[in-house]
Amino acid sequence: MRAKKIVLVGNPNVGKSVIFSQLTGARVVISNYPGTTVEFTRGQVNNGNRDYELMDAPGTYSLDPACRAEEVTASLVDLADIVINVIDATNLERNLYLTRQLLERQVPLIAVLNMVDEAAHKGVHIDIPALQQLLGVPVVATVAISGEGLSQLAATLARAEPGKVNSLTPDERWAWIGSVIRQVQQIAHRHQTWLEALALASIKPFTGVPLAAIILFLSFKLIIGLGEWLQGLLLGIFFNPIYLPVIRSLSRQLGEGSFTHGLLIGNLHQGQILLEESMGLLTTGVFIIFGVVLPFLVLFYLVLGFLEDCGYLPRLAVMTDRVMHRLGLHGFAIIPMILGLGCNVPAIISARSLESRRERFLACTLMSITIPCAAQ
């Protein structure tokens, strides 16, 4: 029997990749680096006696294709046997536009209300039975990062139902969404936490620019400081006591002056092998890659991943949007450029997620000419 195709569909940053990873056990990148899900991810799910093929579609706000990611998602929805629409419970109104479009497609649908714990923390209460009745499809509440509700989601797969609604114009959809929100959502009054105040300050130019300067300065100080410490550690525990004696033994066997010695070991300096200066494949070649560049690159992407996961990079994109427009780009292009500070190769690859060919060309040109690539 052919495995049914299930497609995870939702806005960016609603937890689709986390749900995919939890259901399949597959190793996927969960941090939302730009371009991560431009090419969708596949996995297998076994639910009782039935196998399913699960696909994680690129995040999208609409099924009306305006960029390459939305074209991929719309195509996957057309091929799906079941669609799981992942909804951010903290921002129900924005997410329901895509939900309405999926209902109009009349594909078997399950709505997953994710991050209900964060919604409760923010004072947002959603009446799930009422929402399920209004949508006409099963609604499952989850906290994907802890796995809460995912077993209920797996048990609900057999009950996926197509939407029973008519097609609406965009204005009519927003009117419908407003009606749903009034019936199912209540927001309790609460005081702003210091983290929320900090998040708000990070997107305002007056406070966001100094904050960005401080964060980037501290990030690079941390990378440089720990990178130099890691370099010394690698020299002390691996290169000097283990690797260098092996290279010296190989040098004696090859004989100084031979072609193979010059290629693999390089030049000797007063009879000594200097990893940084001998210019051989096994001396300078290996040491520069693993002893000099790699420690800084690993630390750079760890710090970048932390800034992404804590939600700072999207706010940086919002704050820099006006400046990037002067270069013919959107604020989102700042993220590939920051990636380029670590290495231009993943930065160029991530530029695929920019909306137009013109933006991708401009971003790649700027990165190639102006961004100092650490790997180079």
The whole-number average pLDDT for the span 231-237 is 90
Q: What is the pLDDT of residue 374?
A: 53
Report the mean per-residue pLDDT for the chain: 84
Does 110 or 304 have the greater pLDDT score? 110
pLDDT tens, 133-149?
A: 999 999 999 999 888 99
Does 234 or 369 have the greater pLDDT score? 234
pLDDT tens, 287-302?
A: 888 888 888 888 888 8
Q: What is the pLDDT of residue 1?
A: 60
Rg (CA), the chain: 26
Given pLDDT bands bounded at 50, 70 and 90, which one contains residue 30?
A: very low
Q: Which domains does the chain show, CATH number per domain?
A: 4-187 (3.40.50.300), 200-370 (no CATH)
The pTM score is 0.60
Given pLDDT bands bounded at 50, 70 and 90, which one contains residue 34?
A: very low
Q: What is the 3-state secondary structure (H, E, C) of the chain?
A: CCCEEEEEEECCCCCHHHHHHHHHCCCCCCCCCCCCCCCCEEEEEEECCEEEEEEECCCCCCCCCCCHHHHHHHHHHHHCCEEEEEEEHHHHHHHHHHHHHHHHHCCCEEEEEECHHHHHHCCEEECHHHHHHHHCCCEEEEECCCCECHHHHHHHHHHCECCCCCCCCHHHHHHHHHHHHHHHEEECCCCCCHHHHHHHHCCCHHHHHHHHHHHHHHHHHHHHHHHHHHHHHHHHHHHHHHHHHHHHHHHHHHCCCCHHHHHHCECCECCECCCCCCECHHHHHHHHHHHHHHHHHHHHHHHHHHHHHCCHHHHHHHHCHHHHHHCCCCHHHHHHHHHHCCCHHHHHHHHHHCCCHHHHHHHHHHHHHHCCCCCC
Q: Does residue 376 have a pLDDT over 60?
A: no
Q: Does residue 362 have a pLDDT over 50?
A: yes
Q: What percent of the chain has pLDDT over 70?
A: 91
The whole-number average pLDDT for the span 327-332 is 84
Q: What is the pLDDT of residue 113?
A: 96
Does 317 or 372 have the greater pLDDT score? 317
pLDDT tens, 73-111?
A: 888 888 889 999 999 999 999 999 999 999 999 999 999
pLDDT tens, 166-210?
A: 889 999 999 999 999 999 999 886 666 777 788 888 888 888 889
Given pLDDT bands bounded at 50, 70 and 90, which one contains residue 35?
A: very low
Give the number of other Cβ atoms within 10 Å of residue 366's Cβ: 18
Q: Does residue 131 have a pLDDT over 60?
A: yes
Q: Does residue 27 have a pLDDT over 80?
A: no
Q: What is the pLDDT of residue 190?
A: 65
